[in-house]
Structure 1
Amino acid sequence: MIVSNVSLSSCSKADSAWCAGGSEGHLETTSHGTLSPTGHLVVAVCLGFIGAFGFFNNLLVLVLFCRYKMLRSPINLLLMNISVSDLLVCVVGTPFSFAASTQGRWLIGQAGCVWYGFANTLFGIVSLISLAVLSYERYCTMMTPAEADATNYRKIGAGIGLSWAYSLVWSVPPLFGWSRYGPEGPGTTCSVNWTAKSANNISYIICLFIFCLILPFMVIVYSYGKLLHAIKQVSGINTAVSRKREHRVLAMVITMVICYLLCWLPYGVMALLATFGRPGLITPEASIIPSLLAKTSTVINPVIYIFMNKQFYRCFLALLLCEAPQRGSSFKSSSKVNRPFRPVRRTDNNLTFVVASVGRPTTCPANPTNSAEDQASSDTPKPVAVSLVAHYNG
C-alpha cells in the first residue's frame, strides 16, 4: 500500500522523483543532480554530529525525568513529548540519511524512502505543535493561575494527544495520493516531493506550510508576547528585582523564537521556492543546508527548553555527582492588605505567578504626635491593592 503511488513506472523525464539505479534497487534522481564526494562527506559528518548529540541530549532528558520525581509536573510532560519526538528522529531517521551520505546514494529502496519521509514529517510536526502547545500552556498559566491537580494532567495529556493526532492528519495524506514522499536534494534524504508542479502537490505544500509552520509560529509569538507583557507590568510595580527577571525571560523568549526560525524557516522557504520557482532553481547544495538546519532542532530543543531550566539543571548536576538535587526557592509574595489571604500559585518551572486578590485595605493608625488634620488624612481609605508577582526560575 505504501509504495503503490511511487512505482518505478512513474519515473519519467518530466517527473523523475523515482528512478531505479542498477540491480540493487538504489534510488537515484536524474533531475536533482548530486553532490561531489567531498560534499557527501561533509554532509555525513554533519549528520553524524547531529544524530549523536541529538540522541544523547534527548535520552539524558528522559533519564532525568524518569529518575527524579520532582520533575514530573504537568508542564514537563510536554517537554518530554518534544524529547521523545526528537529522539525518534535521531533513531529512525538520521542513521539512514547518514549511511546514504557516506555512500552518495539512497540505500534502502523505495519503501525505505517513503518510510523515512513519513517518519521525519510525523515526528517533526509533533515537535513543532508541541512547542506551540507549550507556549500556549504557559500563557494559560499566566491568565488563569491554579494549583496543579489531576485536571492539569488531563489537559496536558490532551495537548500531547492533539500534537500526535494533528501530525498524523498532515503526514498521512502523501501515503494516499495527496502529494507523495520521494528523494530530496542530492538523493540521500527523502521528504515530501517539493518539485512536482501539479495542483495536487502544490495544494498540499501550501497547506503544510500554513498549518504546520506558520500557525505554530503565530501561537508561539502570541503566547510569549502576552507573557512578556504581563511580566513588564509586574516590573513596573517592583522595579528592583523584577526588571532583571524581565530581561532574563525576554532573552529566553527571543532565543526560542530565533532558534525556531533558524531551524525551520530556511526549510520552509526552500520548499516554497522548489514548488513555485523554475525547475533547477534549488541546487543540491542549496537544498541540503535547510534540511540540516531543520535536523539541528533535535539538538537545540533540549538545550533551550530543558537545560536552561534551573530545575532540570539541578537534577543534571545531582545525576553527575550522585547526590540529591538541591531545591531552589520557588516563589515569594507581597501584598498590602489588612486581612489574611491565600495566594493562588501556579508554576511551570520557569515562571511562577502569584495573584493576591483581597477586600478592603487597611487604614493607617493615628499617630499621637500628628495633628488632627494629619490623623484625618491618614484615616482616609486607600484603594484596594492587588499585586501580581512573577518569578523566573530559569
Structure 2
Amino acid sequence: MDEKYMSKLSPIADFWAGIYLVIIAILSILGNAAVLVCAARRVTLLKAPELLTVNLAITDIGMALSMYPLSISSAFNHAWIGGDTTCLYYSLMGMIFSITSIITLAVMGMVRYLVTGSPPKTGVRFKRRTILMVICGIWLYATLWALFPLLGWGSYGPEPFGLACSIDWTGYGESLNHATFIMTLSILCTFLPCLAIVFTYFGIAWKLHRAYQSIQSNDFQYGNIEKKITLMAVMISSGFLIAWTPYVSVSFWSMFHSQEQDHMTPLITLLPCLFAKSSTVYNPVIYFFFQRTTRQELRRLQRVMFCCSHQLNSAAEVEKAEDQMGKDTDCNIYENGTDETCVGLVGARCHQSESQVMSLG
C-alpha cells in the first residue's frame, strides 16, 4: 500500500477515532432523519425559510452516509481503504457537503435579516419557489467547486494523519495553480460566507433592538416568536463555525508551513478533523428544541387571536373539535398574563375557538 495512505497514528488512537466516528455517524443519521421525517409530515405547513433548515439536514445526513463509513472502516483498518479512487470520492463528497452547508448558513442569515422586520410584520416575505431555486443554486455552486480539482485547478490528497482526504493544502507553496485555487476557494467559500453570517446576525440584532423599543403590546407575541427563530439560526450558524474553525486554522497553518509539516504531531491534525464532524450532530437537537418552543408560542398567539376576533363556526364543527381534543383546554390558561377582558367578554366563544385551533395544531 502507498505510504501516504498508511495511518500515522497508533493503533489504539485509530481504534478510539473509529469508535468516536461510529457514535457521530449514528447520532447524525438518526437526528437528521428525524428532522426530515418531521418536515415531510408537515410539508404543506413549512414556511419558505424553513426549507433552508431542511437543506442543512440533507447535507448533514448525506455526509454521514457517504463519508463516515469509509473513514470508520479505515480507522479500524489502521490504513486508508481503496487508495486513490476512494480518496478522490471522499474528497469530492466532503467538498460538496461542506460548501453546501456554509453557503446555506450564509443564505439563511441573509434571509433571516430580510424577513426580520423593524417593527415586526414589516419584513420581506419569500415564496417557497424562490427558496427552492436558491437551494438548487447552492448545490450547483458547491458541485462546481468540487469539480475544479478534477478539471486541473487544484488537487485532492490525503490528510497528514492518513485516515481522511481533502484539498491538498500543502500544495499551496508548490505551484501557482494550487495557490490560486486555495486562495480563491478560501475567499469565496469560507471568508465571505463567514462574514455574511456575522454581519447579517449583527444586523438582525440591531433590527430587533429597534423593534422592541417601539413595539406595540399586541405585537409582543409575534416579536417573541421572531426572536426565537432568529436565535435558532444563530445557534446553528455559530455551532458550525465553532466546529470547523480549528480544522480551517490547522489547514491554513499547513498551507504556509508546508516545510514544517513533518514536525506537526499527527494527533494535532486529527483532532480538528474529528471535531469538525460533530457539526452534523447538534443541528437536529437545536432544531427540535426551538421548533417545539416556537410552535407553542404560535399556538398561544393563535388562541388569543381566535378568542378575541373570530366568530363561532357551526355547532357541528365545534362539537367535533371538542371530541377530538377533549375537555382539557379552555381560556382559563389566559387568566395569568393575557387579556382577561377577552376571556370575560367572549366566554364560551373563546373556549370553542381555542378548541378549533388546538385541533389544527
TM-score, normalised on structure 2?
0.73
Structure 2 residue corresponding to 1:145, chosen from 123, 141, 161: 123
Q: Following the alignment from structure 1 to structure 2, what is the Cα–Cα distance between the partners of residues 331 and 163?
A: 38
Q: Which residue of 2 aligns with 1:255?
A: 235
- Alignment of 1:192 with 2:167, yes or no, is yes
Q: Which residue of 2 aligns with 1:284?
A: 266
1:73-104 deviations in Å (ceiling 9; x for gaps): 21121111111111110011011001100111
1:226-283 deviations in Å (ceiling 9; x for gaps): 1111111122235996898898678656634532331111111111111111332443
Gaps of 5+ in 2: 306-361
Q: Following the alignment from structure 2 to structure 1, what is the Cα–Cα distance between the partners of residues 216 and 74?
A: 56
Q: Which residue of 2 aligns with 1:380?
A: none
Q: Following the alignment from structure 2 to structure 1, what is the Cα–Cα distance between the partners of residues 49 and 224?
A: 24
For the 8 Å contact 1:88–1:123, the answer to whether it is kept is yes
Q: Following the alignment from structure 1 to structure 2, what is the Cα–Cα distance between the partners of residues 295 and 210?
A: 22
For the 8 Å contact 1:270–1:287, the answer to whether it is kept is yes
Q: Which residue of 1 aligns with 2:186?
A: 209
Decide which structure has the larger Cα Rg and report it. Answer: 1
Q: Which residue of 2 aligns with 1:302?
A: 284
Q: Following the alignment from structure 1 to structure 2, what is the Cα–Cα distance between the partners of residues 213 and 330?
A: 41
Q: Following the alignment from structure 1 to structure 2, what is the Cα–Cα distance between the partners of residues 33 and 177?
A: 27
- Alignment of 1:269 with 2:241, yes or no, is no
> 1:300 Cα deviation (Å)?
2.1
Higher relative strand content: 1
Structure 2 residue corresponding to 1:329, chosen from 298, 301, 308: 301
Q: Following the alignment from structure 1 to structure 2, what is the Cα–Cα distance between the partners of residues 234 and 169?
A: 40
Q: Which residue of 2 aligns with 1:94?
A: 68
> 1:301 Cα deviation (Å)?
2.3
For the 8 Å contact 1:184–1:191, the answer to whether it is kept is yes
- Residue 188 of structure 1 aligns to a residue whose secondary structure is coil
Q: Which residue of 2 aligns with 1:222?
A: 199
Q: Following the alignment from structure 1 to structure 2, what is the Cα–Cα distance between the partners of residues 115 and 263?
A: 23
- Residue 107 of structure 1 aligns to a residue whose secondary structure is coil
1:172-201 deviations in Å (ceiling 9; x for gaps): 111122221121132111111112232222
Q: Which residue of 2 aligns with 1:7?
A: none
Q: Following the alignment from structure 1 to structure 2, what is the Cα–Cα distance between the partners of residues 331 and 170?
A: 49
Q: Following the alignment from structure 1 to structure 2, what is the Cα–Cα distance between the partners of residues 102 and 53?
A: 19
1:33-88 deviations in Å (ceiling 9; x for gaps): 70001111121111111111111111111100111246422112111111111111
Q: How many residues are paired up?
A: 293
Q: Following the alignment from structure 2 to structure 1, what is the Cα–Cα distance between the partners of residues 224 and 134?
A: 32
Q: Following the alignment from structure 1 to structure 2, what is the Cα–Cα distance between the partners of residues 130 and 231?
A: 23
Amino acid at match of 2:157: G
Structure 2 vs 1, CA of residues 269 and 330 (structure 1 numbering), >3 Å: closer, same or farther? farther
Taking only the aligned residue pairs, the percentage that are identical comes to: 29
Higher relative helix content: 2
> 1:202 Cα deviation (Å)?
2.2
> 1:330 Cα deviation (Å)?
5.9
> 1:154 Cα deviation (Å)?
2.2
Structure 2 vs 1, CA of residues 110 and 203 (structure 1 numbering), >3 Å: closer, same or farther? same
Q: Following the alignment from structure 2 to structure 1, what is the Cα–Cα distance between the partners of residues 268 and 234?
A: 27
- Alignment of 1:162 with 2:137, yes or no, is yes
For the 8 Å contact 1:235–1:246, the answer to whether it is kept is no
Structure 2 residue corresponding to 1:177, chosen from 139, 146, 152: 152
For the 8 Å contact 1:194–1:275, the answer to whether it is kept is yes
For the 8 Å contact 1:40–1:101, the answer to whether it is kept is yes
Gaps of 5+ in 1: 1-20, 22-26, 316-325, 334-394
TM-score, normalised on structure 1?
0.67
Amino acid at match of 2:187: I
- Residue 165 of structure 2 aligns to a residue whose secondary structure is strand
Amino acid at match of 1:63: V
> 1:295 Cα deviation (Å)?
1.2
Q: Following the alignment from structure 1 to structure 2, what is the Cα–Cα distance between the partners of residues 96 and 234?
A: 49
Q: Following the alignment from structure 1 to structure 2, what is the Cα–Cα distance between the partners of residues 82 and 138?
A: 15
1:192-235 deviations in Å (ceiling 9; x for gaps): 11122322222222222221111111111111111111111122
Q: Following the alignment from structure 1 to structure 2, what is the Cα–Cα distance between the partners of residues 312 and 70?
A: 20
Q: Following the alignment from structure 2 to structure 1, what is the Cα–Cα distance between the partners of residues 229 and 41?
A: 28
Q: Following the alignment from structure 2 to structure 1, what is the Cα–Cα distance between the partners of residues 289 and 144?
A: 32
- Residue 158 of structure 2 aligns to a residue whose secondary structure is strand
Q: Which residue of 1 aligns with 2:326?
A: none
Structure 2 residue corresponding to 1:60, chosen from 10, 27, 34: 34
- Residue 172 of structure 1 aligns to a residue whose secondary structure is helix
Structure 2 residue corresponding to 1:113, chosen from 77, 80, 87: 87
- Residue 170 of structure 2 aligns to a residue whose secondary structure is coil
Deviates more, 1:228-237 or 1:125-134: 228-237
Structure 2 vs 1, CA of residues 239 and 158 (structure 1 numbering), >3 Å: closer, same or farther? same
Structure 2 vs 1, CA of residues 211 and 146 (structure 1 numbering), >3 Å: closer, same or farther? closer
Structure 1 residue corresponding to 2:209, chosen from 213, 232, 250: 232
